[in-house]
Amino acid sequence: MDVVDQAQVSMEQLAALQETTRPARAPGPEPTGYCLNCGDPLADPGRRWCSPECRDDWEWFDAFLH
């Protein structure tokens, strides 16, 4: 086994280790039927934001608070 093969094996082992040690992401807020950022009513009750921009704004502000 040459150096390149050894490096490949090491990288695969590291990737597998990272997957097992990564903390689980906390579940997001529950959908309310309204955009969690701007408050507009949503046609789909399972959605949380009316647009990607509102989602990004909400996530930025939530990260700022926590």
Average pLDDT value over all residues in the chain = 88
CB 50 within 8 A of CB 57: no
Average confidence (pLDDT) over 44-66: 92
pLDDT of residue 24: 65
Give the integer Cα–Cα distance in Å for 12 and 15: 5
Mean pLDDT calculated for residue range 44-61? 94
> Hey, what amino acid is at 11?
M
* Contact between residue 38 and residue 50 where contact means Cβ atoms under 8 Å apart: yes
The confidence score (pLDDT) of residue 50 equals: 96
pLDDT (average), residues 29-37:
95
Q: Does position 7 have pLDDT exceeding 80, yes or no?
A: yes
Domain ranges across the chain: 3-65
